[in-house]
Structure 1
Amino acid sequence: MKRKKLAIAALAASLAVGTLAAQPAKAASTSLAIGSVLDIDKLDPHTATNFATVRALGLVYSSLIEVGPANKLKTGLATAWQFSADGKTLRLTLREGVKFHDGSTFDAVDAKASLERILDPKTTAAARANISTITSISASGRYLTLNLSVSNIPILAALDGVNMAMLSSTDIAAGKVGGTNKPNGTGAYKFESWEPTQSVKLSANPTYWMGEPKISDITIRVIPNEASILSAMNAGTIQFGIISDPLIAKQVNTRKLKLYKTPALAYYALQLNNKVAPFNDKNVRLAVQCALDRQEVVNTAMLGQGAISGPITSPAYRSSTTARPCPKADLAKAKAYLTASGKTDVTFKALVTSTGWATSVAMAQNIKAQLAKAGITMELDITDQATYVPRWLAGDFVATLANNGGRIDPDTMYTRYFTSTGNLNKVATYASSTLDANFLKGKSSAKSSVRAEAYTAISKELEDNAVWVWIATPFEYRVADKNLKNFTALTTGSLLPLRSASLG
């Protein structure tokens, strides 16, 4: 028992703008203007899936645990945590003296109410499945206790991020979360305003638990395209840019600007709807997988700025890119799978966002051309991000080219997608008893070897059934004014490090 407790503890630890030019003598501005192609789409952190929303609200709210540099877990609103010997009870010690933006004090009652709101199916929380092993929660003073149905070490990683934001229990009880209600978090920045398609304005939180941020206010401006973002950076009208286009990144003048290039945990995949024709036929799915040269997509649409990927991008359990039916394009095999399906002419529509990321349409066009060589016709249903996200969430597609967020742990990355009770299984369109069993195996073991075995089996099942066609991981690009100091780019794409940054 003691040895198991030590193993659990060991694993838990491992997871673990411009300047004022008119008067040169004046101090530098502490305002930061950020350029983003995407606008936020809601104000409820628990239901956020849009990358822009996740990034912006991540500055407004705090979570119990955070993912820091090198993908290590660190303290957030929880300063310490301890599992019971059997791994079925997690006790968190909460930070004292934390205030919500409205001046009220954060405590264990708020944490309990926040997690219960996430667990409530009526909330439709994006990460509900990641903490679904919680059977009960108790709050007492500085302590929050989570009782679990099974040993669940990855729940530490699950407690990170804006989807696990801590809310005021008073706001929750009054139904004042999301909608048109002003966000009330404990984060580094207070929410000031949102003008849809225009901007989001934030101001520094003077009572922030890490100390008041040095950047006094942040405006996230919606700019139509990334070329315009770079132009605004060069002109000095904005001081920070969120970029996804490697071509634009290559144009950054690093003598004038800083370029942050970080391998992303996020991944690109052609999601196939396994429940509708033609992809309710495994052979058709395999034909698509085998017809696709992933490296050509990377070289052509992504200008070589990416890496071929399997399902799991979590660094400690990354999927092999060769353990799949067709590691490289094989047209003969693709046509053989089509023959086995009894179909000689396969046509389908793929939902594609024109604004979600810069290379989306180019990637879709390249995939379309490649599939045509195998006798598969992919028609493009191109729409903007505001239309794309609701359709994606509803599973309203035959196929879709997606850019999905990755996580540092496979359990929190895919439990919500590929388990029979996952809250995003409608999007994934595939589940099985063997996947359920392997997710449980990976979740409940403190041994990295056992977990690796489970996630290798999960990856193999997803690939062998061509559930989706995983393509590649991109880079996260951030462009900043040379005067920005102490900013660290994260593989998650989070803007949270701005809380410690300064200008000038």
Structure 2
Amino acid sequence: MKPGMTRRLLACAAVVAGLVGASVAPAAAATLKMAWAQDATGLDPHKQTAFSSIRLLELVYEPLVRLNGDLKVVPALATEWTFAPDARTLTFKLDPKAKFHNGQPVTAADVKASFTRILDQATGAVARANYASIASIDTPDDHTVVFNLSQPDVPLLTAMGSVNAAILPASEIAAGKIGTAAVGSGPFKLESWEPNAREVLKANADWAGGKVGVDGIDIKVLPDENAILAALRAKQVDFALLNDPLVATLVPKVAGLTLNRKPVLSYHVLQLNPSRKPMTELAVRQAISCAIDRKDVLDTALLGEGEITGPLTMPQYRSDPKTLFCYSRDLAKARKLMADAGYANGFSATVIAATGEPPTAAAEAQVIQSQLKEIGIKLDIKLMELNVYVDTWLKGDFDMAVALNGGRADPYSMYNRYWTKAGNLQKVANYIDDTLDDLMQKGRVETDPAKRKDIFSAFDKHLAEVSPWIWLYTGYAYTAQQQNVQGFVPTPDGSLFGLSAVSLK
């Protein structure tokens, strides 16, 4: 048992000791009392990558469309959309009832200003590569937007279902206020934000999506998830987002609490930096892949609460991990690869990990450190506060990184920012080859589902074999709630947008 894991188990055991007792129904309230362990790192929806930021901002901002629990595209600010037969234009009709929180109507001009901002490299929009096919935008009237494309782009519509493609007021963009205030059109208004302490959300009475089920959400930031569980037990919290499986699996032991447990598309990964020696060597990267026992990392750090995965995590495209390069641990092969690359005696490197997101990052790093030691790799673990980690990660300033990255419903919109030559996060991936770029481009324009599956199957296998990153596993999204909370439905993308439909009984 690793030291970090022991400390977490002891902390959880202390909570378990107090879990027995009669359940008292919480009093009815108009405001949902909520808790989570990690706060948002910023308010600009186009630039945020942290899960904690996305979970807050998706309650405040809206894209043109969104994905439902079956990962199907459904209306958001747009009520309908049409691809031209040649897939060269994509036309949206906006909901005429949609308004921003400042009372201004959402118009085609706001959509054009938002995507112009996203496509501007100076913005630093994290999903810019998903929309690079947009050549121009026409606004024939206030409620019609026409995206003219430089080429057919099958996954573009799905990519627009992200809060990273949120529609912002053109007036706020022109005034340079994005990120300093949160003026969205979503179901909740951000009334106040005390970083790392509290957020207060108020229901948007003018939300075009319908009536919000609660008057607001009062969110407390409690960095210790054991404290969140204690607050749930004491009826101080109605609803909580949990990330640590050691805590989440205790929820069913508490009378009156319900655990929502949903498999998600996001994936745990050991990211290598192939621009730094010796990770520049294919044999070294492959040796690391062969030396990692993914099942051991999963069982030790996540209590087995997950499933081993390759690069693609969406059900329609996911490969059987047994078909991927070195997914069964092979130390003999790993040592030979190290020797072939001239590193028979190993080398030293640093792996970075964030504190709190995910809460298992330190434990994952410790297990990986132990496993790589067996082939002579000495890893120094450097833990960072989340905002520092994100800044370091975006600069690609690491030897290795333990990460939890978001998944997408479509392989292209999930990975083109990393694994295409024009990808805007190429400086994070620090690796590209002609095969990856070619397969991504073919998958982007192919409309036949069976052919797309074949293309991305080849992409999946090639990416696992060249091993710029070592994919580990997918996990679960956990939320816990009191019996008086009704109507929340978890989704594969881990979204909390479903809180817009929650009511308190």
Give TM-score, length-normalised by structure 2: 0.93
> 1:43 — aligned with what?
43
Count of residue correspondences: 479
Superposed CA offset, 1:77-114 (max 9, x none) = 11111111111111111111111100011111111111
> 1:479 — aligned with what?
480
Q: Secondary structure at the match of 1:305?
A: coil
CA distance in structure 1 between the aligned counterparts of 2:27 and 2:329, rounded to whole angstroms: 58
Contact conserved, 2:416 with 2:423, CA < 8 A, in 1? yes
Deviates further, 222-231 or 311-320: 311-320
> 1:489 — aligned with what?
490
> 1:355 — aligned with what?
356
Q: Secondary structure at the match of 2:103?
A: coil
> 1:220 — aligned with what?
219
CA distance in structure 1 between the aligned counterparts of 2:319 and 2:121, rounded to whole angstroms: 31
Superposed CA offset, 1:232-291 (max 9, x none) = 111111111111111211211353111100001100000000001120111111111000
CA distance in structure 1 between the aligned counterparts of 2:212 and 2:419, rounded to whole angstroms: 39
Identity %: 39
| Residue ranges of structure 1 left out of the alignment (5+ in a row) | 1-23
| Residue ranges of structure 2 left out of the alignment (5+ in a row) | 1-23
Q: Establish whether residue 465 from structure 1 lines up as the match of residue 458 from structure 2.
A: no
1:40 counterpart letter in structure 2: A
CA distance in structure 1 between the aligned counterparts of 2:219 and 2:494, rounded to whole angstroms: 15
Q: Secondary structure at the match of 2:70?
A: helix
Q: CA RMSD in A?
A: 1.5
2:368 counterpart letter in structure 1: I
1:159 counterpart letter in structure 2: M
> 2:8 — aligned with what?
none
> 1:155 — aligned with what?
156
TM superposition shift of 1:461: 1.9
Contact conserved, 2:325 with 2:461, CA < 8 A, in 1? no
CA distance in structure 2 between the aligned counterparts of 1:495 and 1:354, rounded to whole angstroms: 22
> 2:452 — aligned with what?
451
> 1:251 — aligned with what?
250
TM superposition shift of 1:320: 2.9
User: Structure 2 matches for 1:381-392, cutoff 5 A?
Assistant: 381-392=382-393
TM superposition shift of 1:165: 0.5
Superposed CA offset, 1:202-229 (max 9, x none) = 1000100122312111122110211111
Q: Secondary structure at the match of 1:316?
A: coil
1:118 counterpart letter in structure 2: I
User: Structure 2 matches for 1:93-108, cutoff 5 A?
Assistant: 93-108=93-108
Contact conserved, 2:155 with 2:413, CA < 8 A, in 1? yes
> 1:240 — aligned with what?
239
Q: Secondary structure at the match of 2:205?
A: coil
Q: Secondary structure at the match of 1:191?
A: strand
Q: Secondary structure at the match of 2:82?
A: strand
Contact conserved, 1:77 with 1:94, CA < 8 A, in 2? yes
> 1:207 — aligned with what?
206
Superposed CA offset, 1:373-412 (max 9, x none) = 2222222111221211110111110100000000011111
> 1:408 — aligned with what?
409
> 2:439 — aligned with what?
438
> 2:269 — aligned with what?
269
> 1:375 — aligned with what?
376
TM superposition shift of 1:139: 1.0
TM superposition shift of 1:27: 7.7
CA distance in structure 2 between the aligned counterparts of 1:393 and 1:221, rounded to whole angstroms: 28
User: Structure 2 matches for 1:46-445, cutoff 5 A?
Assistant: 46-141=46-141, 142-178=143-179, 180=180, 182-252=181-251, 253=253, 255-343=255-343, 344-445=345-446
> 2:17 — aligned with what?
none
1:149 counterpart letter in structure 2: S
Superposed CA offset, 1:303-358 (max 9, x none) = 11110010011221113312322121000000010011011222211001122112
TM superposition shift of 1:168: 0.6
CA distance in structure 2 between the aligned counterparts of 1:65 and 1:210, rounded to whole angstroms: 12
TM superposition shift of 1:72: 1.4
Q: Secondary structure at the match of 1:446?
A: coil
1:322 counterpart letter in structure 2: K
Contact conserved, 1:43 with 1:57, CA < 8 A, in 2? yes
2:363 counterpart letter in structure 1: A
Contact conserved, 1:191 with 1:203, CA < 8 A, in 2? yes
1:76 counterpart letter in structure 2: A
Contact conserved, 2:352 with 2:382, CA < 8 A, in 1? yes
Superposed CA offset, 1:453-487 (max 9, x none) = 22112112211111100000011110111111111
> 1:5 — aligned with what?
none
Superposed CA offset, 1:89-148 (max 9, x none) = 111111111111000111111111111111111110011000111101111222111111
CA distance in structure 1 between the aligned counterparts of 2:113 and 2:69, rounded to whole angstroms: 29
1:239 counterpart letter in structure 2: D
> 2:12 — aligned with what?
none
CA distance in structure 1 between the aligned counterparts of 2:35 and 2:235, rounded to whole angstroms: 11
TM superposition shift of 1:366: 0.8
Deviates further, 471-480 or 70-79: 70-79
Contact conserved, 1:154 with 1:411, CA < 8 A, in 2? yes
Contact conserved, 1:62 with 1:166, CA < 8 A, in 2? yes
CA distance in structure 2 between the aligned counterparts of 1:94 and 1:140, rounded to whole angstroms: 12
CA distance in structure 1 between the aligned counterparts of 2:336 and 2:250, rounded to whole angstroms: 44
Deviates further, 233-242 or 331-340: 233-242
Contact conserved, 1:356 with 1:384, CA < 8 A, in 2? no
Q: Secondary structure at the match of 1:347?
A: strand
CA distance in structure 2 between the aligned counterparts of 1:295 and 1:423, rounded to whole angstroms: 32
Contact conserved, 2:112 with 2:137, CA < 8 A, in 1? yes
